Amino acid sequence: EAGVVQSPRYKIIEKKQPVAFWCNPISGHNTLYWYRQNLGQGPELLIRYENEEAVDDSQLPKDRFSAERLKGVDSTLKIQPAELGDSAVYLCTSSHSPRAFLMNTEAFFGQGTRLTVV
C-alpha cells in the first residue's frame, strides 16, 4: 500500500512569493490533515478535511494561507505571500474517518515539504 505522498520535498522561495504544496493521501482515507512543524517543535494542526469539507481550520492563518481538497482526494496548501516565519516543514496526514477511530484506525504521515523562505 502506498503511503501519503507529498511534493515537493523541499522548496526555497523569496519572501512575498507564493508557494503551494501538494498531498496525495492513502487511497480510501476520508480524513486529511495539514500540520506545520517548526524547527525543534512538534507538529501543529493547520486544517482538517473530512472528504472535501474543511471541518476544522481554526488554526489556519487565513490572511495568507488557503487549502483545498477537490473531490475529497488530493489536497493543496497554498501560502501567498510567504513570510520568513513560514519556514517550516509542512506535513500531510490521512486516516479513515475519525468516527472510525474507535475501530483502531490510525493516521499516516507523509514525509513533509520543507519550506525555506529567504
Partner 1 sequence: AQKVTQAQTEISVVEKEDVTLDCVYETRDTTYYLFWYKQPPSGELVFLIRRNSFDEQNEISGRYSWNFQKSTSSFNFTITASQVVDSAVYFCALRPNTGGFKTIFGAGTRLFVKA
* 5/15 with CB nearer partner 1: 5
Out of 1, 28, 40, 53, point to the residue binding partner 1 (CB under 8 A).
Answer: 40
Q: At CA 101, angle to CA 99 and CA 107, rounded to 5?
A: 115
Q: Are 43 and 35 in contact (CB under 8 A)?
A: yes
Between the CA atoms of 4, 61, 63 and 68, what dihedral angle is there, to the nearest 10 degrees? 20
In the range 9-38, which residues lie near partner 1 by CB under 8 A?
A: none
Chain centre distance of CA 4: 11
Dihedral-angle region of residue 71 (phi above 0 means left; psi in -120 to 50 means alpha; beta otherwise) = left
In the range 65-104, which residues lie near partner 1 by CB under 8 A?
A: 89, 91, 93, 98, 101, 104
Least separation, in Å, of the C-beta of 16 and partner 1? 26
Q: Is residue 43 involved in binding partner 1 (CB under 8 A)?
A: yes
Residue with cell 493543496: 76
Q: Is residue 107 involved in binding partner 1 (CB under 8 A)?
A: yes
Task: Provide the binding-site residues for partner 1, judged by CB under 8 A.
Answer: 3, 40-45, 48, 55-56, 89, 91, 93, 98, 101, 104, 106-112, 114
